[in-house]
Structure 1
Amino acid sequence: MKLGIITDIHEHVECLRAVLDELAGQVDQVVMVGDVVETGERIEETCQLLSDAGVIGVWGNHDFGLCCDVSVETRETFSHDVLQYMGSLKPRLEIGDCLFSHIEPWLDPHVLEDLWFFGGLPTEGERLDRIFGAVRNRLIFAGHYHRWMLASPTTISDWNGESSIQLGDGRHFVVVNALFAGHYAVLDTETYELMPGRTASPRLPRNSNHR
Structure 2
Amino acid sequence: MRLGLISDIHCNLGALEIALDQMSGRVDEILCAGDAIFQFRFSNEVVAKLREVGARMVLGNHEDIVLSRHGERVRAHPQTDPELLRWLAQQPRRIDTVIEGKRLTMFHATPEEPRCDYVYAGSARMQEFGELGADYVIYGHTHQELVQRVNGTLVVNPGSTGQPRNPGNGFRVSYAILDTQSGEVSVERFDDPTRPRQAVGGSR
TM tier, shorter chain?
A: 0.7 to 0.9
TM-score normalized with structure 2 length: 0.79
Structure 1 residues 42 and 76: CA distance shift in structure 2, 3 A = closer
Following the alignment from structure 1 to structure 2, what is the Cα–Cα distance between the partners of residues 42 and 129?
Answer: 34
Residue 209 of structure 1, CA deviation = 4.6
Following the alignment from structure 1 to structure 2, what is the Cα–Cα distance between the partners of residues 67 and 42?
Answer: 11
Following the alignment from structure 1 to structure 2, what is the Cα–Cα distance between the partners of residues 128 and 41?
Answer: 30
The match for 2:170 is: none
Task: Identify, as 1 or 2, the structure richer in strand.
Answer: 2
Following the alignment from structure 2 to structure 1, what is the Cα–Cα distance between the partners of residues 104 and 8?
Answer: 19
Task: For residues 149-203 of structure 1, give each alpha carbon's deviation from its aligned partner in whole angstroms, at most 9, with x where no partner exists.
Answer: 233336xxxxxxxxxxxxxxx3222222110142001111122211111234422
| Superposition CA RMSD, Å | 2.6
The one of 127, 140, 147 equivalent to 2:137 is 140
Residue 207 of structure 1, CA deviation = 4.5
The match for 2:167 is: none
The match for 1:166 is: none
The match for 1:158 is: none
Following the alignment from structure 2 to structure 1, what is the Cα–Cα distance between the partners of residues 28 and 69?
Answer: 31
Other structure's SS at 2:125 match: helix
Q: Is the 8 A contact 1:48 1:81 kept in 2?
A: no
The match for 1:174 is: 156
Aligned residues between the structures: 187
TM-score normalized with structure 1 length: 0.76
Structure 2 gaps, min length 5:
165-172
* 1:150 paired to 2:142: no
The match for 1:92 is: 94
Other structure's SS at 2:87 match: helix
Following the alignment from structure 1 to structure 2, what is the Cα–Cα distance between the partners of residues 145 and 72?
Answer: 26
**Equivalences for 1:1-211 in 2 at 5 Å?**
1-41=1-41, 43-67=43-67, 75-77=75-77, 78-96=80-98, 97-105=103-111, 107-108=112-113, 114-118=114-118, 121=120, 123-124=122-123, 126-133=124-131, 135-153=132-150, 170-180=152-162, 181=164, 182-204=173-195, 207-211=200-204
Q: Is the 8 A contact 1:47 1:81 kept in 2?
A: no
Instruction: Calculate percent identity across the aligned residue pairs.
Output: 22
